[in-house]
Amino acid sequence: MDCCRHVNPFRACAGLRGLGYLMVALVAAIAAASYYAVVVYAWGPVLLDGGAAAAGAAAVLAAFHVLLAMIMWCYLMVVFTDPGSVPENWRHDAEYSGDPGSSSEEQGSAPRYCSRCQNGKPPRCHHCSVCNRCVLKMDHHCIWVVNCVGARNYKYFLLFLVYTFAETVLDTLVLIPNFIEFFQDESRRSSSPGDTAILFVAFVLNLAFVLSLLCFIGMHTSLVTSNTTSIEVHERKKSVSWKYDLGWRRNLEQVFGTKKLFWFVPLYSTEDLHNIPALRGLEFPTRSDAIV
């Protein structure tokens, strides 16, 4: 019994980081198969052959590569952007000023402290057992990006989902003729067994990603428009009115910023970073009429 008391169950969470690297390798393999199926086998030869179909092939390949570039850009930003670390020796404003009615009290919660980080916890901050640190406005730890998703990379994560969904939809649609060919008699197939297998796998995997990402994007759309994180869903259900819900337009700006030209790229304007505290992850505006 004594030995059980010293077992740290959070050590098992560290294994998720190793699993994350395997998931990254899996995604890279799927992307490679899709690239071969769409570009090398299905539509590249159509473009090279010229003729009336070449214009359509050029449009498909252009869209494919633009979406792929955006996916890679957003993915790298999610992976290498710090989701938000709590400053060392951070304390709530109320603790500094001695005013019990300021900062966290105004947001309906007492000052919080993380015993593992030995540091204060800003509003909406949570400790990640995989990263072994507190993350500002933590949404979840994503094994697909080997990183936490938090205040400072949540937008990049959402864009990664949207562009990946668009890419998989495109791949699925343009590979349908080749997928149908898979079920023809072997004597009527125009491709080798190896190519046919790759086309079949690429089509099925892209279709599976379309269906799963559709559900995931729908969930996060609901979260963004209500200014809620995945962790806060249960807390929100217990409140009469969610204190961070400022209306769908302002909620979007809390994640994407006010400059709409920047909404579609994994970047923020300097003005938004300066004027929107929520993007930094330490302070969040709340509703004055919120009822807990």
**Residues carrying an active site annotation:** 142
Name residue 215's amino acid.
C
| DSSP sequence for 196-260 | HHHHHHHHHHHHHHHHHHHHHHHHHHHHHHTT--TTTHHHHHTSSS-TT---HHHHHHHHH-S-G
Residue 134 near residue 149 (C-beta atoms within 8 A): no
- Cα dist from 256 to 56, 83, 117, 224, 250, whole Å: 34, 15, 29, 10, 10
Tell me how crowded residue 170 is: count the other CB atoms within 10 A of its CB.
19
Q: Number of C-alpha atoms within 13 angstroms, CB side, residue 239?
A: 19
Instruction: Identify the helix (H) or strand (E) that includes residue 52.
Output: none
Instruction: Report helix, strand or coil for 70.
Output: helix
Per the rule left: phi > 0, alpha: psi between -120 and 50, beta: everything else, 257 is left
Helix axes 154-174, 248-256, angle to 10 degrees: 90
N-term to C-term CA, the chain: 41
DSSP letter at 42 equals I
- For tokens 């080749």, the residue is 178
